[in-house]
Amino acid sequence: MGQAIYAPLGDVSEETAAARREALARQVRMDAAGKRLTTIGVEVREHGGSWSLAVPELPGVDARATRRQDIEPAARAAIAAALQVPYHFFELHMRFRD
């Protein structure tokens, strides 16, 4: 299966990234309490037989998958770990990029 990677934040400070993670985690928990799912976007890029996954809403949270069927589980694991919520509290919108 894939592995979670905490990538460099680029032009986003650690404080900003942490604030975004906490705000999204709070939203996911509130939605789950109301029996709703929060949709989180994931950008997927293929690189010679493996896939890199980025979560634009969560700067620094990335993942990799070596098999296509591992893309969603890898994304869910990385997001759930970053937000500290169960993986079934949210849904994913996968965007495959070139």
CATH of the domain at 65: 3.30.160
Q: What is the mean pLDDT of residues 3-21?
A: 71
Residue 70 has pLDDT above 50, yes or no: yes
Which domain, by its residues, includes 88? 3-97
Residue 98 CA to residue 91 CA, distance in Å, equals 23
pLDDT confidence band for 98 (50 / 70 / 90): confident
Instruction: Give the count of domains, the chain.
Output: 1
Q: Distance between CA atoms of 30 and 83, rounded to whole angstroms?
A: 13
State the Cα–Cα distance between residues 71 and 37, nearest whole angstrom: 20
pLDDT at 10: 57
30's enclosing H/E stretch is: helix 14-33
**For residue 6, is pLDDT > 80?**
no
Please check the confidence at residue 21 and state whether its pLDDT lies above 90. yes
DSSP helix/strand/coil, 61 = strand
pLDDT of residue 12: 77
